[in-house]
Structure 1
Amino acid sequence: MEKTWEQLEEYQPTVLKMVGNSLKKNRVAHAYLFEGSRGTGKKEVGLLLAKSLFCQQSQDFKPCNECANCRRISSGNHPDVHLIEPDGQSIKKWQIQELQEEFSKTGVESNRKIYLINHADKMTANAANSLLKFLEEPSSQTVAILLTEQIHRILNTILSRCQVLSFKPLAPKVISQQLTGEGVSSAIASLVANTTNNLEEARQLSTDSWFGQSRTLVIQLYETLNTRPTNAFFFLQDQWLPHFKEKEQLGFGLDILLLIYKDLLYIQLGDEEKVVFHDQIDSFKHYALQTSTRRISEQITALLEAKRRLSTNMNPHLLMEQLLLRLQEGLKFV
């Protein structure tokens, strides 16, 4: 289902406001550069801008997503809207030249033409120089939209000819709502949304059985530390380490455990809306009432220190044993 203007506005309010103002004032730039990390909606907003310029029944400046032009842009079949993707590992000179030849012709249905270049940072030097010539002599009815995750790889001469719009990482609430709308359980959606700000990666994690098992194991470790502390080291050996085998995986487990202790702080501060493990809130309240804010702060410090030491050559098994001792008794790392 195509995203509406309002839905994308939730993702990128600043960008949509700027694009909307340009459309309202009829001051659409000849060239835009949308930059930001993967999964932040750059391509969707680029297509939305194209629809706004071609929509047959827009309301104010917002496209309807339903007319023939909007539907053809969505399906990639509009004759005056062109999307360029890398050919293999890069965007080649011939692709830009082909675009130039196409745009030298009169528009099929109007004089307006739009092109989107996805992964513009992957242009070869020759392709970038060809595009630069194209940007230097813009037609009044031509709009270029360049998309990139690595703005530092874009030629300064190209940057200077584009209006740069920066796409911010998505807020956890936005990702969580999107995932639950797609059928993901609220418990998994909440954790995923606080693990990554990339919507595509969030979708992958939400269906990853390893991720779901990680969540369960972290909760079990926390409960074991509180209810059966003498079993914690057995749990570490029997279940934790076999699951979090690699350093990166172990770091991920520590990140999830850190979210639990942050939840305890939110509960103590009466800020329950920020709790990530909302399905565990009753048991967490019980634990939160039995400890102090200072103690939780010490445990968070211990987790952050363990994360730091994980990046060194310290043995993961020893690191986790020392962490468990510190989480239980407030002991210092040795």
Structure 2
Amino acid sequence: MNLQLALLEKAAREGRLAHLLLFHGGSALHQREVALRLAQILNCDLPTPEGPCLSCSACRKIFSGNHPDVLWLKPLKTTLGIEQVLAWQEKVSLRHYEGNYKISVIEHADALTLPAANALLKIIEEPPERTVIILCAENAEGILPTIQSRAQLVYFPDLSEETWLERLGEVDRQEAAQAFSLSGRNQNLATAILEHGVSLLQEWIRKFRIAVEEEDFLKLFSLFPIDKNQAVLYLQVMAVKAQDGIQKGTVHPFELLAIGKASDVLRQQVNPRLVIEVLALELFQQGGALCD
């Protein structure tokens, strides 16, 4: 454990933890793990000088995700919308059920829409008593500056591949290593790839690549239907592969620009099928093919 996280735990044990924390950088798995431990420290029935006992009713409920005073919020789609935040606000405003503290962990907080972020700001400015809000983000710059300025920022360094694999728990290590390689060593992207399925992702990209190489629009039909989250994941991996190809001199930089443009358009709530088809047509025109 690094010094910053050790000081964070010490503040929690002494009841001095800031009411708003912004976790950024590193692995989402590591952020989630630390948020879970802080929730246990704050609500443990039988705390020890070293931290939570991990065996009392409160610790077990928090670990299993069943504690009524520990709330977890994450995007239902590619963004965290205002409807989700307003529903969460109602729960935060309720009295504590059984815990010493009410803890809210908002994952992928950099996916908050502007209206949702403004709604969140209202709770942050006047938080209920004994409430701690933890925002988890890959990039702190994706958080509204007015929220950043009110939070204690906690930076998470990147984990080694070996440590990341250990934190995944019971998984196929070979498949996890493939996911890590496909992600360009981005731990959050690697986790998403693993959850989706490495072979499914590779097969989809292979079919897309063949359609582009052969400039055969009809071959794109087998790629659908896909939802927006899948499309975002595919484009992220395609961008990694294109960037690697550019460094090797096997891919034209236009392809990376085209993929980036498609990703930006997709985040604007455009139909994912339309985005992928337009991307393919742009690559047809360039006569380019995505690298292996």
> Which TM-score tier does this pair reach, normalised by the shorter chain?
0.5 to 0.7
Between the aligned partners of 2:41 and 2:145, the Cα distance in structure 1 is 29
Amino acid paired to 1:66: S
Which consecutive unaligned segments of at least 5 residues does structure 2 have? 201-237, 255-287
Q: 1:165 to 1:308 in 2, by over 3 A?
A: farther
Q: 1:41 to 1:180 in 2, by over 3 A?
A: closer
Matches within 5 A, 1:1-334: 9=1, 13-39=2-28, 41-110=30-99, 112-175=101-164, 184=173, 196=185, 198=187, 201=190, 307=248
Secondary structure class of the residue paired with 1:28: coil
When the two chains are superposed, the root-mean-square deviation of aligned CA atoms in Å is: 4.2
| Sequence identity percentage | 33
Secondary structure class of the residue paired with 1:143: strand
Between the aligned partners of 2:113 and 2:28, the Cα distance in structure 1 is 24
Between the aligned partners of 2:67 and 2:41, the Cα distance in structure 1 is 13
Between the aligned partners of 1:247 and 1:122, the Cα distance in structure 2 is 20
Amino acid paired to 1:41: H
Tell me which residue corresponds to 1:279.
none
Q: 1:197 to 1:60 in 2, by over 3 A?
A: farther
Assess if the C-alpha contact under 8 Å between 1:82 and 1:114 holds in 2: yes
- TM-score under structure 1 length normalisation: 0.53
Tell me which residue corresponds to 2:221.
none
Instruction: Choose between structure 1 and 2 for higher RCO, CA contacts under 8 A separated by at least 6 residues.
Output: 2
Amino acid paired to 1:84: L
Amino acid paired to 2:80: I
CA offset digits 1:176-209 (Å, max 9, x no partner): 6568986747xx79x96xx72527727967x968
Tell me which residue corresponds to 1:215.
none
Assess if the C-alpha contact under 8 Å between 1:39 and 1:200 holds in 2: no
Between the aligned partners of 1:40 and 1:196, the Cα distance in structure 2 is 15
- TM-score under structure 2 length normalisation: 0.60
Secondary structure class of the residue paired with 1:114: strand
Q: 1:181 to 1:113 in 2, by over 3 A?
A: closer
CA offset digits 1:162-183 (Å, max 9, x no partner): 1011111112442465689867
Q: 1:179 to 1:250 in 2, by over 3 A?
A: same
- TM-superposed deviation, 1:249: 5.7
Tell me which residue corresponds to 1:258.
none
Between the aligned partners of 2:105 and 2:90, the Cα distance in structure 1 is 16
Amino acid paired to 1:36: G
Between the aligned partners of 2:99 and 2:7, the Cα distance in structure 1 is 25
Between the aligned partners of 2:55 and 2:22, the Cα distance in structure 1 is 27
Q: 1:306 to 1:15 in 2, by over 3 A?
A: same
Q: 1:308 to 1:166 in 2, by over 3 A?
A: farther
Aligned residues: 223
- TM-superposed deviation, 1:38: 4.4
Secondary structure class of the residue paired with 1:34: strand
Amino acid paired to 1:60: P
CA offset digits 1:44-67 (Å, max 9, x no partner): 211111111111223225223332
| Structure showing greater Rg | 1
